[in-house]
């Protein structure tokens, strides 16, 4: 069991804090620039930053032009480097600064890596732009023109070259590589080879003047390079103080991780500034393990990778909490409303395309679906309606069946009826109680003799009868049964083996988690994405007229209904006798656990750490914009208890149900649990290793272990 302060340390969970600095500079004034650089270095060190990147030629300023051939400026830059190195003494923070450096009678545009009062290595720029407003080849030589492999600086001989990898002694996953500006803009950047050689953090010292639209292109370059290389990418650019003789500067700083932006600076700021973010090294390493083509690419370029030299660095610096990173509470649901609407539109399109292709390929133009008045079957029915519209078939080709049992509530029965009417399907009702009573009598269950024994047999007789009716009705009608069970239920095994939430001819929901289904249904209610019954061949897009008032209202009513299997009779007031989340725990947390367990393979302590960061404060964090969600917090003790439930059910008791699921379209990169897709696992595996790791959660006041 860890001490609480150890558990809450981001570094313990594989995070490293990085920064990009944009100092104010003066052209050809190295002493001033060194002072500005040292001040930002002090700020970075105080925040527990492992490495901080500064702009290209930041100690001299990028816009010196032919002044780069003046000895006074070059000597001043060496003095400035010594000043920065002295400022780094006593810190574990690595500073990467830009300066012009003369080596063997040639001048190079360089990045110097500085830590604890020393220069650890120097990286020259590989590609020199000589087009448009750039003419660096007038002053500098490219890296491959250098003959030296080391250079003497501040009284020490240090490695010199473009193929240097810097490795942290106490953080084996922290390896970084440095390239400079134009190196990123070429078809094959040097950092691509560095990533294959093991670099997890790629650093670009850039100046990059601003023109209209260039900031978006920089964002795209940095994000795409981080995605291709499965790495973090730090990008700097020059800001206030550079010469505006012919150019302007916006000081854009970026930190990306595997294609996603983590931090960006304010552009056109007058003052020096620093951006920080915590990079998840474990996540990057897992992605490289998972994407086997990364290793194949490294093997293909093995000869090139042998040129890299390793340089050791100390640290990294201790990281004070909390985590400097946005962890969304709903990883399957974008917090930004425009992105969420786009996500919902695409999810619907994938599900509809999957179902329409299945119907075309089978030559079957009719579907049968059970409608409970709850979320999952509602969403599946909306997908069926859109599929019929797409195929140009009437929605009466959907046979919707509500099948009241012993515990069906008046509310859900009413909602199921209203929903089918609003959609315009062939709505039917089959009372399953007589056939259930016959089966209970046949197997000798006490309920058949009037005794109220509401056990699992009593529940599953109802579930099984519903499924039997659906399949036989599909035979009778010449259709296929569309399944309704969702990804969250498959993960937790909250589905009866062989019945409707588990088995069907085709399941449109199998890779859609419960939290996303809630937002999909609300999106339809708010935007009219389901269209008017029989009015068009394609779903209505957001912004077009809303669906009939009846459909909108019934969808909102369904969203406000407590999730329940309704297999045990409720009370006299009509309240359901079962609450799914009171038995399983909140789907909000289970979907969070599912995402980080399946998508990234994180161990339970890290999943709990991330969940606590996301959910510990109901007033803070990121909630889906404009969405109606329950704004509550969860303590670490609650998170640990629900995580234990998730781990036991996911790893030990439920895999056999997932090993035989029907066909279903994969919807998101968050994963599918189909044995033909993202998840293959033994049905008789143990959860002991995961449960043991939950024991690492700390015992602290207010967060006691359950």
pLDDT in tens, 633-646: 999 999 999 999 99
User: In 10 A of CB 242, how many CB atoms?
Assistant: 25
CATH number, domain at 509?
Answer: 3.40.50.620
Task: Dig out the tokens for 571 from the structure.
Answer: 């009370």
Q: What is the pLDDT of residues 269-308, one digit of tens each?
A: 999 999 999 999 999 999 999 999 999 999 999 999 999 9
The closest of 401, 578, 571, 598 to 494, measured between CA atoms, is 578
> Binning pLDDT at 50, 70 and 90, where does residue 572 land?
low
Decide if 469 is inside a domain. Answer: yes
Tally of domains within the chain? 2
Output the pLDDT for position 549: 64
Please name the helix (run of DSSP H) or strand (run of DSSP E) that holds residue 594, with its range, or none: helix 587-598
Output the pLDDT for position 548: 57
Decide if 392 is inside a domain. Answer: yes
Query: Are 303 and 351 within one domain?
Result: no
Q: What is the pLDDT of residues 449-480, one digit of tens each?
A: 888 899 999 999 999 999 999 999 999 999 99
Decide if 226 is inside a domain. Answer: yes
Output the pLDDT for position 448: 81
Mean pLDDT (whole number) for 301-324: 92
The mean pLDDT value of the chain amounts to 92
> Binning pLDDT at 50, 70 and 90, where does residue 268 land?
very high
Q: What is the pLDDT of residues 162-203, one digit of tens each?
A: 999 999 988 989 999 999 999 999 999 999 999 999 999 999
User: In 10 A of CB 220, how many CB atoms?
Assistant: 10
The answer, yes or no, to whether residue 149 has pLDDT greater than 90, is yes
Give the integer Cα–Cα distance in Å for 665 and 650: 21
Query: Are 295 and 352 within one domain?
Result: no
User: In 10 A of CB 75, how many CB atoms?
Assistant: 12
Query: Are 587 and 637 within one domain?
Result: yes
Output the pLDDT for position 187: 97
Mean pLDDT (whole number) for 251-277: 96
| Contact call for residues 189 and 153 (beta carbons, < 8 A) | no
Domain that holds residue 659: 337-694
| Bridge-based pairing state of the strands 273-280 and 309-313 | unpaired
> Binning pLDDT at 50, 70 and 90, where does residue 689 land?
very high
| Contact call for residues 548 and 423 (beta carbons, < 8 A) | no
Query: Are 368 and 432 within one domain?
Result: yes
Q: Which residues contact 227 (CB under 8 A, 6 or more apart)?
A: 258, 259
Is-cis flag, bond preceding 316, omega within 30? yes
| Contact call for residues 343 and 512 (beta carbons, < 8 A) | no
Q: Which residues contact 349 (CB under 8 A, 6 or more apart)?
A: none
Query: Are 369 and 242 within one domain?
Result: no
Query: Are 270 and 351 within one domain?
Result: no
Distance between start and end Cα atoms, the chain? 14
Decide if 605 is inside a domain. Answer: yes
Mean pLDDT (whole number) for 419-438: 96
User: In 10 A of CB 592, how many CB atoms?
Assistant: 29
Output the pLDDT for position 97: 98
113: Cα within 13 Å, side-chain hemisphere: 30
Query: Are 270 and 368 within one domain?
Result: no
Decide if 515 is inside a domain. Answer: yes
The answer, yes or no, to whether residue 702 has pLDDT greater than 50, is no
Query: Are 174 and 213 within one domain?
Result: yes
User: In 10 A of CB 359, how many CB atoms?
Assistant: 24
Decide if 323 is inside a domain. Answer: no
The closest of 76, 114, 71, 68 to 93, measured between CA atoms, is 114
pLDDT more than 90, % of the chain: 83
The CA-based dihedral angle spanning residues 90, 94, 99, 103, taken in that order and rounded to the nearest 10 degrees: 90
Which range, 49-63, 526-540, 544-558, 665-679, has the best average confidence (pLDDT)? 49-63
Query: Are 345 and 289 within one domain?
Result: no
Q: Tell me the three-class secondary structure of 654-687, residue by residue.
A: CHHHHCCCCCCCCCCCCCCCCCCCCCCCCCCCCC
Query: Are 269 and 395 within one domain?
Result: no
Mean pLDDT (whole number) for 418-445: 96
CATH number, domain at 284?
Answer: 3.60.110.10
Task: Dig out the tokens for 444 from the structure.
Answer: 């000798």
DSSP-derived letter for residue 426 is: E
Decide if 11 is inside a domain. Answer: no
Give the integer Cα–Cα distance in Å for 237 and 413: 61
Mean pLDDT (whole number) for 56-78: 97
The answer, yes or no, to whether residue 617 has pLDDT greater than 90, is no
Query: Are 518 and 572 within one domain?
Result: yes
Query: Are 361 and 507 within one domain?
Result: yes
3 state SS of 649 = helix
> Binning pLDDT at 50, 70 and 90, where does residue 540 land?
very low
Output the pLDDT for position 546: 43
Is-cis flag, bond preceding 548, omega within 30? no
Q: What is the pLDDT of residues 342-382, one digit of tens each?
A: 999 999 999 999 999 999 999 999 999 999 999 999 999 99
The answer, yes or no, to whether residue 245 has pLDDT greater than 50, is yes
CA 96 → CA 59, 126, 153, distances in Å?
A: 11, 17, 15
Decide if 665 is inside a domain. Answer: yes
Residue 279: φ, ψ to 5°? -90, 135
User: In 10 A of CB 259, how many CB atoms?
Assistant: 15
| Contact call for residues 52 and 273 (beta carbons, < 8 A) | no
Mean pLDDT (whole number) for 625-638: 85
> Binning pLDDT at 50, 70 and 90, where does residue 574 land?
low
The answer, yes or no, to whether residue 613 has pLDDT greater than 60, is yes
| Active site members | 56, 125, 181
């Amino acid at each position: 069991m860890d001490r609480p302060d150890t558990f809450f340390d981001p570094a313990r969970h594989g995070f490293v804090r990085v920064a990009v600095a944009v100092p104010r500079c003066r052209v050809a004034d190295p002493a001033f620039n060194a002072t500005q650089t040292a001040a930002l270095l002090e700020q970075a060190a105080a925040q527990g930053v492992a490495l901080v990147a500064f702009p290209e030629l930041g100690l001299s300023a990028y816009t010196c032009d032919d002044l780069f051939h003046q000895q006074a400026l070059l000597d001043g830059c060496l003095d400035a480097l010594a000043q920065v190195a002295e400022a780094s003494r006593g810190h574990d923070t690595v500073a990467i600064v830009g300066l012009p450096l003369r080596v063997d009678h040639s001048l190079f545009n360089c990045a110097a890596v500085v830590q604890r009062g020393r220069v650890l290595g120097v990286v020259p720029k590989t590609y020199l732009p000589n087009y448009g407003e750039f003419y660096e080849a007038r002053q500098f030589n490219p890296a491959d023109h250098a003959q030296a492999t080391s250079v003497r600086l501040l009284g020490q001989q240090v490695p010199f070259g473009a193929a240097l990898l810097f490795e942290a002694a106490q953080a084996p996953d922290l390896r970084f590589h440095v390239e400079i500006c134009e190196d990123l803009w070429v078809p094959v950047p040097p950092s691509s080879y560095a990533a294959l050689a093991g670099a997890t953090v790629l650093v670009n010292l850039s100046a990059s003047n601003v023109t209209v639209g260039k900031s978006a292109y920089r964002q795209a370059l940095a994000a795409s390079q981080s995605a291709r290389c499965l790495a973090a990418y730090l990008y700097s650019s020059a800001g206030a103080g550079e010469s505006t003789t012919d150019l302007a500067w916006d000081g854009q700083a970026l930190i990306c991780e595997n294609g996603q932006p983590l931090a960006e600076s304010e552009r056109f700021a007058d003052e020096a500034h620093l951006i920080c973010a915590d990079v998840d090294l474990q996540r990057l390493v897992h992605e490289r393990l998972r994407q086997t083509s990364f290793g194949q690419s490294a093997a293909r370029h093995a000869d090139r990778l042998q040129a890299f030299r390793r340089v050791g660095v100390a640290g990294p610096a201790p990281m004070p909490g909390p985590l400097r990173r946005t962890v969304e509470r709903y990883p399957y649901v974008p917090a930004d409303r425009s992105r969420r609407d786009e996500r919902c539109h695409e999810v619907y399109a994938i599900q509809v395309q999957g179902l329409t292709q299945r119907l075309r390929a089978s030559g079957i133009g009719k579907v049968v679906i059970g409608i409970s008045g709850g979320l999952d079957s509602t969403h599946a029915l909306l997908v069926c309606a859109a599929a019929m519209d797409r195929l140009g078939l009437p929605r009466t080709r959907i046979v919707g069946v509500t099948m009241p049992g012993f515990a069906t509530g008046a509310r859900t029965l009413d909602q199921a009826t209203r929903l089918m009417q609003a959609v315009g399907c062939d709505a039917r009702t089959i009372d399953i109680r007589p056939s259930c009573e016959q089966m209970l009598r046949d197997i000798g269950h006490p309920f058949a003799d009037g005794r109220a024994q509401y056990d699992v047999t009593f529940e599953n007789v109802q579930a099984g009868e519903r499924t039997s009716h659906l399949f036989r009705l599909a035979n009778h009608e010449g259709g296929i049964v569309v399944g309704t069970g969702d990804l969250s239920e498959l993960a937790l095994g909250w589905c009866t083996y062989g019945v409707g939430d588990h088995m069907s001819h085709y399941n449109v929901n199998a890779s859609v988690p419960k939290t996303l289904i809630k937002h999909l249904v609300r999106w339809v209610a708010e935007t009219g994405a389901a269209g008017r019954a029989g009015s068009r061949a394609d779903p209505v897009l957001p912004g077009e007229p809303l669906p009939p008032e009846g459909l909108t209202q019934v969808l909102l009513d369904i969203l406000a209904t407590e999730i329940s299997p309704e297999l045990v009779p409720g009370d006299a007031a009509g309240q359901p006798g079962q609450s799914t989340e009171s038995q399983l725990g909140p789907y909000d947390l289970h979907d969070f656990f599912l995402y980080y367990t399946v998508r990234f393979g994180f161990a339970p302590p890290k999943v709990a750490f991330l969940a606590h960061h996301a959910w510990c404060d109901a007033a803070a964090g990121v909630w889906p914009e404009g969405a109606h969600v329950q704004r509550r917090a969860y303590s670490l003790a609650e998170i640990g208890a629900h995580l234990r439930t998730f781990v036991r059910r996911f790893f030990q008791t439920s895999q056999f149900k997932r090993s035989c699921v029907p066909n279903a379209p994969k919807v998101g990169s968050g994963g599918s649990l189909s044995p033909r897709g993202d998840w293959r696992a033994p049905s008789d595996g143990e959860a002991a290793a995961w449960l043991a790791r939950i024991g690492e959660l700390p015992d602290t006041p207010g967060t006691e272990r359950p």
